[in-house]
Amino acid sequence: MADMTLVDFMENYSFYIIFFLLAGICAILFALILILRERSKIQKIMHKDPIMDIWNLNYLIYQGNKRLRTDRNKKFATVTVNIAQFRSYNLLYGWDMGEKLLEYICMLLNNSVDSKTEIASRVQGDSFVLFLEWENWEDFMTRLRNLQNKIQKSIYNLTENHLRVRMGVYALSEEQEDMKVAVNYSNQALSMARSRKCSEIKVFDRALEEKLRETHEREKMLEKIEIDDRFVAYYQNKVDIRTNRIIGGEALVRFLDPLKNGKVESPAYFVPYYEQTGKITEIDFHIMESVCKMLRKRLDEGKTIVPISVNFSRLHFIKKGFPERFEAILGKYGIDKEYIEVEITETLMIEELMQQEMIKSTLNTLKEKGIRLSIDDFGSGYSSLGVFEKIPASIIKLDRSFFMNQQDRERQIKIMRGIVMLGHELEAQTVCEGIETEEDIQVMKEIKTYIAQGYYFSKPIPQEEFEKILDRQEEIKSGCP
């Protein structure tokens, strides 16, 4: 044994040696496979969407930046894609159905890109970003429109719902080197799309850049200012069409812009921004206070008053304390609760399904306290009769869209008559909004409802004018001009 050479040893134990060598190689291979697997898992986590079979935004930015460095002779664009009303669909049909729909959209987007040179990615929820190549702009836009139509049709075939696809597009300039900036621009383009409910393709261009700058400056200004007397209540009267008498009014906020010599700005100018920041709740109470002040002043002067409805944002109802603060303001000015009505939009009930218990309890408290609730814009958006069950309303405001739909007048009248009758059964008064013409008045008579609000009688006017009209009405009634 002691004299055994290395050669003898290898010959004698060749079987074992080969066995151990093979086992070693297998172990190394196995370890390598494990490492590679883990690596691809890690890469997948880093680059793939965690739920859907689609790339994530990180991957799009990473690959896009690489292409921008190496392929500058090509033209690129980023496209932000969003499904309008997806949130409502999700709430109405449930999470699983929503997820199925998104998976389907991922598949359509994946199939629509050239997997070697282009990328489809999901940001989150129903928000996607595409990194695409283009040569001719017209052809590129046709490609996007076709994709938009295809997705919309497929969604309809799958769900029987007309959900709209919106796109924001940014064509990368030759100097553009940062994909994050490019994605930001296509996002911005999408945010400037006209309506959240329409299918639209908005391209980021100079005009849009200018508009964004204006919006940014306006928001900066709005952020800084206090909620004070620059926010005033305008009034639009509600008229009984049988007597032509004003039986009430609605307070509508206006902003007197200090930067534009007190130019009167409508809610569209600032309400959406303050809804985002939450400051709208302060504005609503500020308007309620100015209404109460006006009513108090009139009472002190021995003049008549009419009930005024005040718009309250949905934000009030998802937190505590609304009824208490409302009552405190009434108490401060000694105004009876019948004289201030709370207007809330019906979309509130569908959109805020998650916080329903909180909303329900606030609304019930208001009802118990005898505060009058008014369902605003009934018939716009996702109307459902279920809203009557959820909002214990004293007033239902039929939206202007009912009066605009003249396609099948007879059918429309039957539907409206049904709603008026239902309101009657529920002891709720119906008010028709947006009454503009003699024909609208005729429709009101046919559906047997008589309280109108709209340009036919008056636009929203400043407090002094509204008061003068009330005074005049009183003088005529008492026979003393």
Closer residue to Mg ion (CB): 88 or 236:
236
Is residue 287 a contact point for ligand C2E (CB under 6 A)?
A: yes
Provide the residue count of the chain: 481
Report the number of secondary-structure helices (H) and strands (E) in the chain.
18, 16
Is residue 253 a contact point for ligand C2E (CB under 6 A)?
A: yes
Exactly one of 49, 257, 343, 467 binds Mg ion (CB under 5 A); that residue is 343
**Encoding tokens for residue 132?**
């695409």
**Encoding tokens for residue 446?**
């046919």
Read off φ and ψ for residue 12, nearest 5 degrees: -65, -40
Specify the 3-state DSSP secondary structure of 75. Answer: strand
Decide which of ligand C2E, Mg ion, none touches 252; Cβ closer than 5 to 8 Å per partner kind.
ligand C2E
Contact, 432 vs 239, CB < 8 A? Answer: no
Is residue 257 a contact point for ligand C2E (CB under 6 A)?
A: no
Q: Which residue has the tokens 């008064």?
A: 429
Is residue 415 a contact point for ligand C2E (CB under 6 A)?
A: no
Q: How far apart are CB 320 and ligand C2E at their closest, in Å?
A: 19
Q: Which residue has the tokens 């009248």?
A: 413
Instruction: List the end-to-end C-alpha distance of the chain, in Å, as a whole number.
Output: 137
Exactly one of 186, 313, 374, 429 binds ligand C2E (CB under 6 A); that residue is 313
Is residue 323 a contact point for ligand C2E (CB under 6 A)?
A: no
Q: How far apart are CB 459 and Mg ion at their closest, in Å?
A: 14
Residue nearest to ligand C2E (CB): 454
Decide which of Mg ion, ligand C2E, none touches 158; Cβ closer than 5 to 8 Å per partner kind.
none
Contact, 345 vs 314, CB < 8 A? Answer: yes
Is residue 341 a contact point for ligand C2E (CB under 6 A)?
A: no
Q: How far apart are CB 196 and Mg ion at their closest, in Å?
A: 18
Specify the 3-state DSSP secondary structure of 460. Answer: coil
Is residue 436 a contact point for ligand C2E (CB under 6 A)?
A: yes
Closer residue to ligand C2E (CB): 267 or 462:
267
Closer residue to ligand C2E (CB): 297 or 314:
314
Neighbouring-strand partners of residue 202: 168
CA–CA separation, 116 and 106 (whole Å): 17
CA–CA separation, 263 and 260 (whole Å): 5
Closer residue to ligand C2E (CB): 187 or 309:
309
Is residue 346 a contact point for Mg ion (CB under 5 A)?
A: no
CA–CA separation, 330 and 336 (whole Å): 7
Is residue 311 a contact point for Mg ion (CB under 5 A)?
A: yes
Exactly one of 252, 396, 428, 447 binds ligand C2E (CB under 6 A); that residue is 252
Scan residues 351-380 and list those touching ligand C2E (CB under 6 A).
376-377
Closer residue to ligand C2E (CB): 200 or 376:
376
* Cα atoms in the 13 Å half-sphere on the side-chain side of 348: 27
Stretch that binds Mg ion, among 107-115, 222-230, 308-316, 446-454 (CB under 5 A): 308-316
Q: Is residue 228 exposed (0-12), middle (13-18) or buried (19+ Cβ within 10 Å)?
A: exposed
Number of residues that bind Mg ion (CB under 5 A): 5
Q: How far apart are CB 232 and ligand C2E at their closest, in Å?
A: 10
CA–CA separation, 184 and 64 (whole Å): 14
Q: Which residue has the tokens 């070697």?
A: 116
Is residue 266 a contact point for ligand C2E (CB under 6 A)?
A: yes
Closer residue to ligand C2E (CB): 423 or 434:
434
Which of 402, 420, 337, 329 shows the shortest CA–CA distance to 371? 337
Closer residue to Mg ion (CB): 376 or 467:
376
Q: How far apart are CB 342 and Mg ion at their closest, in Å?
A: 10
Is residue 451 a contact point for ligand C2E (CB under 6 A)?
A: no
- The DSSP line for 327-368 is HHHHHHHT--GGGEEEEEETHHHHHTGGGHHHHHHHHHHHHH
Which of 185, 30, 161, 183 shows the shortest CA–CA distance to 101? 161
Contact, 78 vs 171, CB < 8 A? Answer: no
Is residue 280 a contact point for ligand C2E (CB under 6 A)?
A: yes
Contact, 120 vs 154, CB < 8 A? Answer: no
Closer residue to ligand C2E (CB): 97 or 232:
232
Is residue 437 a contact point for ligand C2E (CB under 6 A)?
A: no
Scan residues 70-89 and list those touching ligand C2E (CB under 6 A).
none
* Residues near ligand C2E (CB under 6 A): 236, 252-253, 266-267, 271, 280, 283-284, 287, 311, 313, 343, 376-377, 400, 434-436, 454-455, 460
* Residues near Mg ion (CB under 5 A): 311, 343, 376-377, 433
